[in-house]
């Protein structure tokens, strides 16, 4: 029955979707303030989307965490069916490549749901957040880099790589985003980042000057070290 509800939910909303994938580092080094601020930021993100008419109908969020393994915390869901995250338990290593691959697999599955039901969607977004350097399987990392850069080149993915703290490996993040340099979060301004993100989701459905969505680049200053 749950399956039916989710299917009806999919086809009864004709709004073109903006699939947003949050792929977040929950390795041991995220312990403490970082993880607490991050969880608050994600929950705040859900609440902001909920309050904005346009983002409310368009956004579908999924959450993948990676430490010594990758796991799907939240499959793609409209804001009405998102469950706020209570806590995350940081531990282990930084299997970034595995995390990104899982996020992309989840996205592919969702895209095929859309396609089967005739649901429209805008270019999906991938938010990749890490505070260290990847130390999973090197081949998985290479595969992830290749998949992401190919999708970006085909204009089938917008990627936001975000470094957290001074130890984040910005050069690896840069490999995921050949067009736009990765950004480093200013302090622990997760809230500002997610606020910016929800505003950007809302903008997708608004009138644009051209065929590409213009991001609110001024708003970046609120959370990024520029």
Partner 1 sequence: MLDPTEFVQQERRLFIDTNVFMDTDTRRAGGLKRLFERCQDDIARNSNPIVVPTKVVDELTKQSRTNPAGLTDGKAAAVRKATNSLTFLESVAPLGLVRKDLGDNSNPYADDLFVEIFTRVGGKYEMCLLTHDITLLLRIRLLAAKTNRRLVAGGLSKEGQIEVESDQVLFEKGARKLERMQRQIRQSIDVAKSEREAASLEPLLDDFQHTLGVSPAARQPAPSHTPSPATVARPEGTPCAFSSPAKFRGPDHVLGTTTIPREGDTVRFGSATSAASFTLGRLLGEGGEGQVYEVAGQPNRVAKIFDAEHRTAHRQAKLVLLTANGLARPGIAFPSSVITTMAGDFVGYAMPRAEGKEFQSTLMRPKRFRETYPNWSKADLVDVCISFLERVVYLHSLNVLLGDINPKNLMVEAKKTVWIIDADSWQLEGYPCPVGTAMFTAPTVKGDYADNLRTMEEELFAVATMLFMVLITGQFPYSRAGTDGDIPRLIKEGKFAFQFHGKSDQDQPGGKWKYMWSHLPFKVKSLFWHTFHRDGDRYTRRPTAGEWLQVFREYKAFFGSADDFDPMSNDVYPSRFKAFRPDTPIRDCPQCHGKNAIVGEWDDDQQSYFEPELCFDCSRQNRHRQQPRPPQNTAMCKSCGRSALKSSMTYGHCAECAAKGAQLDPAQLCIDCRRPFITFDHADWFKGKGLAMPKSHVTATKQQCPPTAPSTKKPRTQPIKPSTQPQKSLLARLFGWFWN
Ranges of H-type helices in 52-123:
53-58, 96-117
- Residue 32 or 210 having the CB closest to partner 1: 210
The least CB distance from residue 219 to partner 1, in Å, is 13
- Residue 67 or 202 having the CB closest to partner 1: 202
The least CB distance from residue 16 to partner 1, in Å, is 7
The least CB distance from residue 116 to partner 1, in Å, is 6
The least CB distance from residue 207 to partner 1, in Å, is 4
Alpha-carbon span 161 to 122, nearest angstrom: 19
- Residue 69 or 214 having the CB closest to partner 1: 214
Alpha-carbon span 188 to 178, nearest angstrom: 25
Alpha-carbon span 176 to 182, nearest angstrom: 8
- Residue 114 or 176 having the CB closest to partner 1: 114
- Residue 26 or 62 having the CB closest to partner 1: 62
Alpha-carbon span 97 to 136, nearest angstrom: 7
Alpha-carbon span 23 to 21, nearest angstrom: 6
The least CB distance from residue 186 to partner 1, in Å, is 24
Alpha-carbon span 23 to 96, nearest angstrom: 9
The least CB distance from residue 18 to partner 1, in Å, is 11
Alpha-carbon span 48 to 42, nearest angstrom: 10
- Residue 69 or 155 having the CB closest to partner 1: 155
Site residues (vs partner 1, CB under 8 A): 1, 4, 7-8, 10-16, 53-54, 57, 111, 114-122, 156, 203, 205-211
Structure tokens at 100: 């990104």
Find the radius of gyration of the CA atoms of the chain: 17
């Amino acid at each position: 029955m749950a399956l039916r509800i989710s299917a009806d939910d999919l086809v009864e909303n004709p709004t073109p979707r903006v699939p947003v994938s949050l792929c977040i580092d929950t390795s041991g080094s995220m312990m403490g303030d970082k993880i607490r601020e991050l969880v608050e930021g994600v929950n705040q993100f859900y609440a902001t989307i909920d309050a904005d008419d346009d983002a409310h109908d368009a956004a579908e969020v999924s959450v993948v965490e990676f430490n010594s393994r990758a796991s799907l915390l939240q499959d793609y869901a409209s804001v009405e069916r998102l469950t706020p995250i209570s806590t995350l338990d940081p531990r282990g290593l930084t299997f970034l490549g595995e995390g990104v691959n899982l996020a992309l697999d989840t996205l592919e599955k969702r895209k095929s749901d859309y396609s089967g039901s005739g649901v429209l969607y805008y270019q999906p977004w991938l938010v990749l957040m890490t505070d260290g350097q990847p130390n999973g399987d090197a081949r998985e990392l290479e595969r992830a880099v290749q998949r992401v850069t190919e999708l970006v080149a085909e204009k089938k993915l917008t990627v936001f790589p975000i470094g957290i703290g001074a130890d984040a490996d910005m050069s690896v993040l840069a490999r995921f985003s050949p067009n736009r340099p990765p950004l480093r979060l200013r302090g622990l301004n997760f809230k500002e980042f997610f606020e910016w993100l929800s505003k950007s989701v809302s903008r997708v459905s608004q009138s644009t000057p051209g065929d590409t969505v213009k991001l609110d680049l001024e708003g970046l200053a609120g959370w990024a070290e520029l």
